[in-house]
Amino acid sequence: MSTTFRRRISPTERMYFPMRELAPPFLMQLEFTGTGALDPDELRRAVETASADCPGARLVRVGRNWVDSGIAPAVREITGHVLGYPRLEADPVLTSPIGPTRDSTCEVLLLTGEPTTVIFRVFHGVMDGMGMVLWATSVFRALRGEPLRPMRDPIADRELVRRVGAPGRPTPMLPRYRAAIGYGRQDPGLARHLLRHRTIHATGSGAVARVAALLAVEAGVVQRIMVPVDLRRHDPELRSTANLALPLFLDVEPGQDWTQINQAKRIGLRERHELNQMASSGLANIPDAASRAILRTTNWLGSRYGRNLASATVSHMGRFDLDELRVPGFAPTTVRVLPQHSVAMPLLFGMVESGGRTELTVSARNGRGLEDRLETLLDLIADTLEAELPQRNSSAA
């Protein structure tokens, strides 16, 4: 009997395959920037060790299944490169395809410019954001020579929802919601997506609700906000890096206080509404060609008429303890999550906390006049959160 790790590709994951063509490179990216240096060979050995215990990092598609290839993700050393802030969508490394083959689903970048940066790159079809975090932190543990926690449960969202049950019906998905930056025609030669960032010198509770409130005020109409929820909360013993996130939808009125939004989020979580959305993955049951056509139409409706299935995704990946991330020779000072691009969503916000700061990054569907609007919106969010969040970073300039 074969002992090779394998699991069925979930309906959610199947929907992500056309995105590699429509919104390349369609990767979640987790960036650790810090002081010191890492030896590339030591990093490769750590990636091999951690990925043996996290086989979700070594998956290739075989028919309807993900199968462990037994080959660790590549570690690419990019000598002297520094990420091209602020216009990250133009950075040649971040926008490069994953490698070394078309079947690859994860890789690690080591940028040796000043400062040293390590980036974990993941095709969303094999992991969710928390799965990416679990794999990355396993690599850091391997660099420190610490025991690892194997992540070998062949469980993704569909199996978990079947086990714990869904309490109701999915939220209807209709293209009727506006984005806070408006919309604009995607002309040839114009970058199809933007990837921008702000450092917020404060941390505290309610960041997701506060951003949602700001988006509604700026849009002037109801915003449907998609909040990814980690399904591992329903089974704390589960050890899997697979896609185990489903959306909780919040409809936010302009002028609604963030505390009301936060309460609505808490009620939705208490009532487990995110589990209902497993039943909404209808695109998984149609051929890939038809799925691509539907996604292209979704993008066209959003860019031409401002009609979207949701106004924005707002995700918070939690808090990182920088001291716990230290490894011999390298001390991370900043953690950022860089969300994947999407043709189905106009705005995807990702937040993480570390070192007394909140790092916010957004992928935005681009179009005529949208770049300036996005920058203005990001300035407003950063200024507001720095004024409102309770824990200020006293070291900020």
Mean pLDDT of 14-43: 96
* Assigned domain for 98 exists: yes
Residues 6+ apart with CB under 8 A from 397: none
Block residue for tokens 């000072």: 333
- Whether residue 314 is predicted with pLDDT greater than 50 in this model: the reply is yes
Q: CA-CA distances (angstroms) from residue 34 to 48, 106, 110, 179, 388?
A: 22, 22, 12, 35, 28
Which pLDDT score is estimated for 2?
A: 54
pLDDT mean across residues, the chain: 94
> What does the pLDDT read at residue 390?
86
User: How far is 255 from 7, CA to CA, in rounded Å?
Assistant: 45
pLDDT at 395: 56
pLDDT tops 70 at residue 177:
yes
Answer whether residue 273 is part of any domain. Answer: yes
Residue 235 in domain: yes
Average pLDDT over residues 333-358: 97
281 confidence band (pLDDT: 50, 70, 90): low
Residue 367 pLDDT more than 60?
A: yes
Domain range holding 316? 6-392
Residue 282: its pLDDT value, please? 56
pLDDT score for 1: 36
pLDDT exceeds cutoff 70 at 396: no
SS3 291: helix
Mean pLDDT value across residues 372-387 = 98
Average pLDDT over residues 287-311: 91
**Cα–Cα distance between 160 and 170 in angstroms, integer?**
16
Rounded alpha-carbon distances, angstroms, from residue 283 to 247, 263, 290, 308, 343: 16, 31, 9, 16, 14
**65-74, 136-145, 184-193: least confidently modelled range:** 184-193
Per-residue pLDDT at 283: 54
Q: Is residue 229 over pLDDT 50?
A: yes
Three-class DSSP category at 369: coil
pLDDT at 348: 98
39 pLDDT band (50/70/90 cuts)?
very high
Kindly state whether residue 397 falls inside one of the protein's structural domains.
Answer: no
Mean pLDDT across 126-147 = 98
Q: Exposed (0-12), middle (13-18) or buried (19+): which is 148, by Cβ within 10 Å?
A: middle
Determine contact, residues 240/55, Cβ cutoff 8 Å. Answer: no
Entry pTM: 0.95
Phi, psi of 42 (to 5 degrees): -65, -40
pLDDT at residue 285, as a whole number: 66
Q: Please determine, for residue 397, whether its predicted confidence score (pLDDT) is greater than 50.
A: no
Span 245-256, mean pLDDT? 97
Residue 366: predicted pLDDT: 97
Average pLDDT value for residue range 39-49: 98
- Comparison of pLDDT for 190 and 351, the residue scoring more: 351
Q: In the chain, how many domains are there? A: 1
Residue 272 lies in a domain: yes
Burial of 363 (0-12, 13-18, 19+ CB in 10 A): buried
Candidates 350, 358, 353, 355; CA nearest to 322 is 355
Nearest C-alpha neighbor of 109 from the set 73, 138, 158: 73
